[in-house]
Structure 1
Amino acid sequence: MEEFVVRGQNKRSPANDAISPRKKIKLERMKQEEEEEEEDEFSHPVPWQKIEAEGLDCDYALLFSKEEADHLLKQLEEEVVYSTGEEAKVQIFGKVYDIPRKQATHGDAGLTYTYSGVARLACPWTPTLEYIRDAVTKATGQTFNFVLVNRYKDGRDHMGEHRDDEKELDPLCPIASVSLGAPRDFVFRHRDTRGKRTRRQIEPVKLELAHGSLLLMNSPTNTFWYHGLPVRKKISLPRVNLTFRRILLDQKKRPSVDSQQGTSD
């Protein structure tokens, strides 16, 4: 199932030799203004592929060429400093474990993000993270104030199944996931199919996230579907993943998820 975001056609004035020079200039100015407005809104139109299942709504596209993705990955390897100590651990059912990958958090000044029992303060944006964030904004029309960086040194580094449903996140904003480096399998599993007492038979959705790709996880995906990055021992090359998010500055103004999705978790 594919859907493409197609850039709108520019309005064109009919060819007419009888139009006065003054009116021609005015029409040309109007056309130029329309082109500038369109360029500001979506400077980098990309072909989107729609990925859908019951309660799952995602959009996928190649955002960067191989050459640009190679350059961005190289820059990130030089710029990003990953967490150590307590911030490199995760709490699961009361037990603390080392995170099976490297992590870093960046964003606007003063932002914090809490998950798995650990609060993480956002470091300032690096030039490359700002560049990628702006490219994602131009492609999607969405703004983001925080990014979680995950680095997988090879296929043994992984991420367990989880949902990005923390209270700090704006539920009306999609999570934008940019992948750089080795392609990896990304698996969605419906919440009703997990555990020993599965209530329903719903097939998981598996994607291979390519080098330079962008995956948008739209509402209500994170209500109904868990996602994870499983171990792939044959992969020897690193991968860096950036998940751009919008954190609410005033959680009292948090939009109602129920009113938007018609359900609660």
Structure 2
Amino acid sequence: MERFVNRGQNKRSCTNDARSPQKRMKLESDERIKEEEEEDGILAEFSHPVPWQKIEAEGLDCDYALLFSKEEADHLFKQLEEEVVYSTGEEAKVQVFGKVYNIPRKQATYGDAGLTYTYSGVTRLASPWTPTLEYIRDAVTNTTGHTFNFVLINRYKDGQDHMGEHRDDERELDPLCPIASVSLGAARDFVFRHRDARGKQTRRQIEPVKLELAHGSMLLMNSPTNTFWYHSLPVRKKITLPRINLTFRRILVDRKK
């Protein structure tokens, strides 16, 4: 994944310069050093040397990388444990085929002021960004080049907490923006299954794609992944530690209206 930075060129005057050649050479040398320092600053701000791993299959396009070091990921996890307020009561339920169930994990929604997100028959209002969520969001933006205005947070207390197969394909999501999934805490298996290879009467034999999402990692789900592939986080009884997952999205405000 590459980022291109337009480097501006200093325009020099065409008027006669009465200064000595040695003086001009020194000034020009100083200007070149200043330009190089400015360019280095731009590159340091807008590009992160993240080694990406490409994950591809028919209709599946993902990028995977370690976004944070273990030390930074540990700190971010601790901060989120202190800052994030999870849903309770009716907001902690989900509707599936007309039936209401308790969500087998904790959930929270944060984002820009006034944003709502509707999924599984429930509409959720975004709480204001916390400092830690803003920091993670900006790190994701600086690394991917995409901006996000909403995040869905799932907290899994251990391997018993899970998420069933689904697609993030709600019409209010910007189809041109990938979904960036940041994982903190216990490493968990993540499974993609093609829509034509689900259920007892599968139409095609397509192998699932299985990943392990590590502490401090980011999975970028690019288009058209969520059109053709379902994803899940299955039960893993041997996992005893918690995990926090943050899926950054861009909601189209005009489409919601």
- With the length of structure 1 as denominator, give the TM-score of the two structures: 0.87
Which residue in the other structure is 1:29 paired with? 34
2:192 corresponds to which of 184, 188, 193: 188
Which residue in the other structure is 1:210 paired with? 214
By how many angstroms is 1:7 displaced?
Answer: 7.5
Which residue in the other structure is 1:139 paired with? 143
In 2: Cα distance, 1:163 partner to 1:188 partner: 10
Change (3 A) 1:201 1:238: same
Change (3 A) 1:20 1:7: same
Which residue in the other structure is 2:15 paired with? none
2:88 corresponds to which of 77, 84, 91: 84
Alignment of 1:1-265 (within 5 A): 5=1, 20-42=25-47, 44-251=48-255
How many residues get paired?
243
Check conservation: 1:100, 1:157, Cα contact below 8 A: yes
In 1: Cα distance, 2:205 partner to 2:80 partner: 41
In 2: Cα distance, 1:6 partner to 1:93 partner: 43
Check conservation: 2:172, 2:256, Cα contact below 8 A: no
Check conservation: 1:183, 1:209, Cα contact below 8 A: yes
Name the Cα RMSD after superposition: 2.1
In 1: Cα distance, 2:62 partner to 2:3 partner: 20
In 1: Cα distance, 2:80 partner to 2:90 partner: 23
Indicate the SS of the match to 1:20.
helix
By how many angstroms is 1:196 displaced?
Answer: 2.4
Between 1:60-69 and 1:21-30, the stretch displaced more is 21-30
By how many angstroms is 1:40 displaced?
Answer: 2.9
Change (3 A) 1:6 1:146: closer
Check conservation: 1:109, 1:122, Cα contact below 8 A: yes
In 1: Cα distance, 2:256 partner to 2:212 partner: 38
By how many angstroms is 1:30 displaced?
Answer: 2.5
- With the length of structure 2 as denominator, give the TM-score of the two structures: 0.89
One-letter identity of the residue aligned with 1:193: A
Check conservation: 1:6, 1:45, Cα contact below 8 A: no
In 1: Cα distance, 2:80 partner to 2:239 partner: 20
By how many angstroms is 1:168 displaced?
Answer: 1.2
Q: List runs of 5+ in structure 1 lacking aligned partners.
A: 12-17, 254-265
| Percent of aligned pairs sharing the same letter | 80
In 2: Cα distance, 1:121 partner to 1:45 partner: 35
